[in-house]
Structure 1
Amino acid sequence: MELRHLKYFLAVAEELNFTKAAEKLFISQPPLSRQIIELENEIKAKLFIRNNKKVELTEAGKYFNQEVIALFKNLEQISLKTKKIADNVSGEFTIAYISSIYSSVISKLIQHLKEQFPYVNFKLFEISTTKQIDALEQGKIDLGIIRSPVKSPKIKSQLWFKDGFSVVYNKELIQINTEEEIPNLKDETFVFFNKDYAPHYHEVLLELCAYYGFKPKVVHESNNINSIVQLVKNGLGISIVPSNIAKNNRDLEIGFIELKKVQLFTDVSLITSKEDDSEITKSAVDFLLRFSEK
């Protein structure tokens, strides 16, 4: 049995038409039919029911189809991992992060990695938590930095730091100096993350407002933390952001008040593939754990 037999089988199984499958494979129909017959003879099982009207998979064919699809997917992952092993010397290493945690530490990480692995091309992408998890499972990124907990058998997660929350406001428009004054914000306009984009984070913000005795009037939404801070600066409302944002913001027009009374935090985690034991990944994780935002 050769890989071409399996590729031909998948084409017929997908099209359920020998003519269309042959066109897709850029071969004529008779050789395709012969290859399928060879395959059936080798595994001693009839895979297709053929007649003048239609082509159908047998029960054995349905099972074989599922297993072959899984086999090719596994081959693709093996190829990706092989490439990544080779990329320890040269190649690409992709790091993803969410907008609410970007800081100078990540910039320093890239500098650190470039010094250690000068022939590797390091790439940074701002990607949502959900998309990071999908990308990591598919081998499209090497390291992710997220907020939400991960439930995936393919991913290893390590806590980077716990982040609290702070109210952010325009100093010229809002007069507030202490956490005790937070309930006075009940009539203000709020800018929040879109609840469909970050449902867990959205619920936490509502819970925070409830702790201070009010339900926020959310008028504006965004999927990017920097856009939210800019909207606040432009006078379109106030917001509640991770305290890490306050630590890394030096804009004198914006004020931050950390919410210390309520014990609500988010875990900022580093995620990698459980199968990834490369020196680059280890170096990156070790660096971030050593220079965390605690």
Structure 2
Amino acid sequence: MGYQLELRHFNYFQVLAEELHFRRAAERLFISQPGLTRQIKQMEEIYGVSLFERGTRFVRLTAAGVYLKKEVDTLFHNLERVEQELKAIADHDALSLRLGFIGSAVQSILAQLLITLKHEHPRVEVDLQELSNEAQVTKLLKEELDFGFVRIDAIPKGLTGIPVLTEHFSLVVPYAYPTQQDNFTKLLALQEEPFILFSKDYSHSYFDLVMSIFKDAGFQPHVALRTVNALTIFNMVEQGLGVAIVPASLKKGYTTQVKFIDLDQIPQRTTLSLLWNPKVKQRGINVFLDIVQKEIHA
């Protein structure tokens, strides 16, 4: 065999693996169907393995083809990232970052991090995505986010993380509620109240942590409403639909008519962590990590 694999072979393979139809794949690639067949045959001969099963009415990937499809997708994803990085370097060191976050991150640390980032790197481009903890983890593993600010009790396999803020909880009550910070004694006194909590979709481990607060208090709460949005919780409490328990940092940044009672005497604490995928390689990663470390130490 006098031929070698070139980038075009992988492009042809990727398109055919997506279409699983030689004619449609050839049309997408603007080559003839026999030409596409010949290129795939070359790949199979070089690797010594069948990549596709071919029938009179079907084309499907073999086990080797499934594996190669995953690797080829990663290859082209990395090539696209390299192109973006090279353009950024040519554009006077412009940076781009994709940041996932939960609402409490904005009130606690994210806003200051973004201010510092803009000050030190004025040309930085930041794509902010407010997502649940689980959604951020999924996107990080798929390399669709550079960083995620989450509340989970363990770093998922394949990711790296550091704690950025550990804080106590606060009880949220209506503005004119009889119980306030100065006369609050124990959570058990509110056992007949409906509670509005972050749902398990926000974070399974966070939800379990909050439920442990009620267990220690000696009662099972009536959870009237669940949501993944802090503002929704505050609006519901303001309307008298229940009371809530949230991270203490959420006292900042909202203008709803509610009051907060610090639960700083209980042992439960919630930690906001920063996660990232070590497989993602781009200049903005280390830049942002340096800023985060400085902010934590400060």
Match of 1:118 in 2: 122
Q: Distance in 2 between matches of 1:65 and 1:249?
A: 48
- Aligned-residue CA RMSD (Å): 3.0
Alignment of 1:106-255 (within 5 A): 106-148=110-152, 149-153=154-158, 155-176=159-180, 177-246=182-251, 248=252, 253-255=257-259
Which sits farther off after the overlay, 180-189 or 250-259?
250-259
**Pairwise CA distance, 1:18:** 2.9
Q: Distance in 1 between matches of 2:250 and 2:51?
A: 59
Report the TM-score, using the length of structure 1 for normalisation.
0.82
**Pairwise CA distance, 1:241:** 0.7
Equivalent residue pairs, number: 286
Rate the CA distance shift 1:84–1:146 in 2: closer, same or farther, 3 A: farther
**Pairwise CA distance, 1:222:** 1.7
Q: Give runs of ≥4 in structure 1 deviating > 6 Å.
A: none
Q: Distance in 2 between matches of 1:236 and 1:21?
A: 57
In structure 2, stretches of 5+ residues that fail to align are none
Cα deviations by residue, 1:10-46 (Å, 9 ceiling, x for unpaired): 4445555433433443433222223233334444555
Rate the CA distance shift 1:230–1:16 in 2: closer, same or farther, 3 A: closer
**Pairwise CA distance, 1:281:** 1.8
Match of 1:3 among 4, 7, 24: 7
The sequence identity of aligned pairs, in percent, is 26
Cα deviations by residue, 1:201-241 (Å, 9 ceiling, x for unpaired): 22222221222122211212221112212221222210011
Match of 2:81 in 1: 80
Match of 2:68 in 1: 67
Q: Distance in 2 between matches of 1:219 and 1:116?
A: 46
Q: Distance in 2 between matches of 1:234 and 1:197?
A: 22
Q: Distance in 1 between matches of 2:68 and 2:191?
A: 58
**Pairwise CA distance, 1:50:** 5.0
**Pairwise CA distance, 1:242:** 0.8
SS at match of 2:38: helix
Match of 1:256 in 2: 260
**Pairwise CA distance, 1:168:** 0.9
On the 8 A contact 2:231/2:254 being kept in 1, the answer is no
Report the TM-score, using the length of structure 2 for normalisation.
0.81
In structure 1, stretches of 5+ residues that fail to align are none
Rate the CA distance shift 1:264–1:48 in 2: closer, same or farther, 3 A: closer
